[in-house]
Chains A and B, each alone.
Chain A
Amino acid sequence: MNISLVTDRTASNESARMASPLAIRGMTVSYGQNPAVFSVDVTVRAGAMTAIVGPNGAGKSTLLKATLQVIKPLAGTVSVFGKPLAQMRDRIAYVPQRASVDWDFPTRVIDVVLMGMYRQLGLLGRVRRHHHEAAMASLTRVGMADFATRQIGQLSGGQQQRVFLARALAQEADIYVLDEPFAGVDAATEKAIIAVLKELRDAGRTVLAVHHDLVTVPEYFDDVVLLNTQVVAAGPVAEVFTDANLQATYGGRLTTARIDPESVAG
């Protein structure tokens, strides 16, 4: 059985890390005394679509949030193109879990997308025509242009997810980090989202997504990180996405993992 040791800590990986659009090193997050994520190293390949896969409670979302400093890690550093995250935030677009916000918030679809342009607009910058046009263009890409003036509470789950993606697109970032983008969305939305992500990849952007459906991993993604508190294996799907590695990641839970409740949750 081939088990890669903890992580890729060899010195030769250091240069790969410096060049990587997103390199996570020694990331440890704990809630109380139990580590949700322990000593994780991930080096994301530029211009690839990478999935983070693992059983429920494996720390997938936690790893993502800690990477973007949305939550505070116990230890760990993150570099973006070899520089500290703090200097490079505008290169990253983050799509949080859809369920993490209150969709009853009094705002319209177009306003949500404009929120993504906060860096361009600044504190008091006026929304000019070109901002508006860029926001509309993002909505068009996800097929939501007709909904621009709808109140967000009126959207279906899939439509909400598309709006979130449009908001990320409006940021015009190099790296797109998505937390469960396909959780509870309809089939048409899933297709639309994956098409947009592949367009991004083909334009040289990097995509990192938490994903829960093992079946679609080979179809959607180039690279995969198998996570269960620690990284079990990481690399190109063809090499890493093996039965042995999946067994090692999911342990006895592989059968249940295939009917992950998150995938059927509304």
Chain B
Amino acid sequence: MMGVEFVALSLTPILIGVCVAVACALPGNFLLLRRQALIGDAISHVVLPGIVVAFLLTGVVATGSMLLGAAGAAVLSVIAIDLIRRLGRIEAGAAMGVVFTAMFAGGVLLLERSDTSSVHLDVEHALFGNLESLIWLDARGWSSLLDPAALSGLPVELPRMAVALVVVTAFLWLFWRPLALSTFDEGFARGLGMPTGPLGLALVVVSAIAAVAAFDAVGSIIVIAMFICPPAAARMMTNRLGHQMVWSAAFAAFSAIIGYVLAGYGPIWIGASASVSAAGMIATVSGVILGVAAVAGPHRAKAS
């Protein structure tokens, strides 16, 4: 299992999975603390119409335009949610439910009505992705990691996801202090003259970038699970924000690796022939981690 076959068939999906999981879990910590956990859910739904509209406008499947379309859809949805919440004096959850379902429904119908059969855009792909297919055909074993020719044959999703992870990490590192402050005490932050509105929007946009980059590779189900489960489990392990980030990244990476291995090799171990959905299994593992943390985490309950 650890030989040539592993490097070619499993190494890149696992690495991509880890990048996706960590890139989503890190901003997820802030979304969780801002009681915006479901924004991750909303974003991953509106990514679909964003990508479809971008594709219909440009006619090609290009990372740049799709990324723009999806990020645009995410920002649009956040603005729409806010507008509905304020004008109708309607609770954020309900406003969110209206916006993301409508946009997702629009995306599905657009997709079904238009000729996207030539490209790999379909609803099920959008939901579950196809992590297992992101194999590294040029790999001839571990030594290929040092071979430029073989490296050029890496699936594009890997460098793309790595870049997304770097962008997310850089944003959180750079704006760590304002984010922590405005999440804890928005009134005080505004009193300091901090632009908390744009900052909150930036957090959503960065989350959207992670979601969009991940979406293409792994589908939206991992994205939602990784936005919420690792940070939620991490919150129950520690009472310090910095430590929570580290825990969440560790849980996310662990979910990705164990989930992929279980999906690919688990059925074989119990005597079945084919593998099961890696995306689904990764989400499931993250849920099991959350369950364990909720039962046994040292800081699982409120102090009072």
Residues of A at the B interface (CB closer than 8 Å) are 65, 68-70, 86, 89, 92, 94, 96-97, 100-102, 104-108, 111-112, 115, 118-119, 121, 123-124, 151, 153-154, 167, 177
- Is B97 close to A, CB under 8 A? no
**Measured between C-beta atoms, what is the minimum distance from A258 to chain B in Å?**
28
Given contact pairs A106-B33, A118-B192, enumerate 20 new A-B contacts (beta carbons under 8 Å).
A68-B191, A69-B191, A70-B190, A89-B191, A97-B187, A100-B185, A105-B241, A106-B238, A106-B243, A107-B180, A107-B184, A108-B240, A111-B240, A112-B184, A115-B181, A123-B178, A124-B177, A151-B239, A153-B304, A167-B188
27 contacts between A and B (CB under 8 A): A69-B191, A70-B191, A89-B193, A94-B187, A94-B191, A96-B185, A97-B187, A101-B184, A102-B33, A104-B302, A104-B303, A105-B33, A105-B241, A106-B235, A106-B241, A106-B244, A107-B180, A111-B241, A115-B180, A115-B181, A115-B184, A118-B178, A123-B174, A123-B178, A153-B239, A153-B304, A167-B188
Q: Which of A111, A115, A123, A167 has the most CB of B within 10 A?
A: A115
- Is B144 close to A, CB under 8 A? no
**Measured between C-beta atoms, what is the minimum distance from B54 to chain A in Å?**
33
With CB as the reference atom, state the residue of chain A lying closest to B173. A124
- Is B183 close to A, CB under 8 A? yes
Bound-state Cα–Cα, A189 to B244, Å: 32
Q: Across the A-B interface, give the 5 residue pairs with the lowest CB-CB distance, nearest first.
A: A94-B191, A153-B303, A96-B187, A151-B239, A89-B193
Bound-state Cα–Cα, A107 to B178, Å: 14
What per-residue 1/0 map shows which CB atoms of B187-200 lie under 8 Å from chain A? 11011111000000
Inter-chain contact A123/B177, CB cutoff 8 Å: yes
Q: What residues on B are CB-neighbors of A107 within 8 Å?
A: 180, 184, 239-241
Q: CB within 8 Å of A: which of B25-45?
A: 33, 35
Q: What residues on A are CB-neighbors of B174 within 8 Å?
A: 123-124
Bound-state Cα–Cα, A119 to B194, Å: 10
Interface size class of B (residues with CB under 8 A): 20 to 34
Bound-state Cα–Cα, A68 to B304, Å: 32
Inter-chain contact B304/A94, CB cutoff 8 Å: no
Inter-chain contact A69/B187, CB cutoff 8 Å: no
What per-residue 1/0 map shows which CB atoms of B54-90 lie under 8 Å from chain A? 0000000000000000000000000000000000000
Known: A106-B241, A119-B192, A153-B304. A70 touches B177 (CB 8 A): no
Bound-state Cα–Cα, A97 to B185, Å: 10
**Measured between C-beta atoms, what is the minimum distance from A242 to chain B in Å?**
33
Inter-chain contact A69/B190, CB cutoff 8 Å: yes
Q: What residues on A are CB-neighbors of B178 within 8 Å?
A: 118, 123
Inter-chain contact A115/B188, CB cutoff 8 Å: yes
With CB as the reference atom, state the residue of chain B lying closest to A153. B303
Bound-state Cα–Cα, A177 to B193, Å: 14
Inter-chain contact B193/A69, CB cutoff 8 Å: yes
Bound-state Cα–Cα, A177 to B303, Å: 30
In-complex Cβ contact of B177 among A86, A105, A121 (8 A): A121
Inter-chain contact B185/A115, CB cutoff 8 Å: yes
Inter-chain contact A106/B193, CB cutoff 8 Å: no
Inter-chain contact A89/B192, CB cutoff 8 Å: yes
Inter-chain contact A65/B193, CB cutoff 8 Å: no
What per-residue 1/0 map shows which CB atoms of B237-261 lie under 8 Å from chain A? 0111101100000000000000000
With CB as the reference atom, state the residue of chain B lying closest to A117. B177
Q: Which of B178, B185, B187 has the most CB of A within 10 A?
A: B187
Inter-chain contact B33/A68, CB cutoff 8 Å: no
